[in-house]
A and B are shown apart, each in its own frame.
Chain A
């Protein structure tokens, strides 16, 4: 089954404790992206990757890191999480990142930073 898999689905942690949210897709997609979803603000893009070893900032990249060492994986790293990063996070992928291609989303990771 074609899917985007995120882990963990839920995480409660404390300020400053490094964490990684993993994202994996099995569709051989070149394009992958991370979004955060906050009430009243909708979905905002954090980082995106057009292909292996190619990443770029989205609208709200501060406090986040990403890497794309393999085509299928695109982890999101919070080196020193802070409470304002409490949010619902989504990973998405598409074939080549063209805007005429649908994006496929994971089921989300709900992150709480205390």
Chain B
């Protein structure tokens, strides 16, 4: 079953605008990660947020986590054409288990127009 599900499925914006993607999950987690996938390439890790954290920043990326709503958002500020990619959230199984599998959502396809 899908743990993380992203919303929207696709997002199209102009360069310089902000892009916000959301991830919802079903069961409690220990950690949530965001990945980017450029067309034809593997996934690249962007940022990790722990269940006891509410917000985290990395460069132009801002991730928030609301464990009460079981949701996370990824904000990319001042987007660039090079940010065009698919973005995935990945969650663990929670419950004190921190090893093993991550479950990936289906991703948000972001297109940034120059």
Instruction: Report A-chain residues with C-beta under 8 Å of the C-beta of B59.
Output: none
In Å, the complex CA distance between A1 and B106 comes to: 29
**Please, how many residues of chain B have a CB less than 8 angstroms from a CB on the other chain?**
26
8 additional contacts (CB under 8 A) given A45-B102, A105-B42: A42-B2, A43-B88, A92-B43, A98-B98, A99-B99, A100-B50, A100-B98, A108-B40
Are A42 and B42 interface neighbours, CB within 8 A? no
B67 near A: Cβ within 8 Å?
Answer: no
**Please, how many residues of chain A have a CB less than 8 angstroms from a CB on the other chain?**
27
**B4 — nearest CB in chain A belongs to which residue?**
A42
Interface string of B30-41 (1 = CB under 8 A from A): 110100000011
B25 near A: Cβ within 8 Å?
Answer: no
Within 8 A of A (CB), among B23-64: 30-31, 33, 40-45, 48, 50
* Closest Cβ–Cβ distance, residue B100 to chain A (whole Å): 6
Total number of A-B contacts with CB less than 8 angstroms?
A: 66
Identify 29 residue pairs between A and B in the complex whose beta-carbon atoms are under 8 Å apart, listed by A's number: A4-B42, A33-B101, A35-B104, A42-B2, A42-B105, A42-B106, A42-B107, A43-B88, A45-B102, A48-B101, A56-B100, A58-B101, A90-B42, A90-B43, A96-B99, A97-B99, A98-B99, A99-B30, A99-B31, A99-B92, A99-B98, A99-B102, A100-B30, A100-B31, A102-B48, A103-B102, A104-B45, A106-B42, A107-B42
* Closest Cβ–Cβ distance, residue A17 to chain B (whole Å): 25
Instruction: Report B-chain residues with C-beta under 8 Å of the C-beta of A92.
Output: 42-43
Q: Which B residues form the contact surface with A (CB < 8 A)? A: 2, 30-31, 33, 40-45, 48, 50, 88, 90, 92-93, 98-107
In Å, the complex CA distance between A74 and B37 comes to: 22
* Closest Cβ–Cβ distance, residue B108 to chain A (whole Å): 11
**B104 — nearest CB in chain A belongs to which residue?**
A43
Are B42 and A40 interface neighbours, CB within 8 A? no
* Closest Cβ–Cβ distance, residue B92 to chain A (whole Å): 3
**A107 — nearest CB in chain B belongs to which residue?**
B42
Instruction: Report B-chain residues with C-beta under 8 Å of the C-beta of A56.
Output: 100
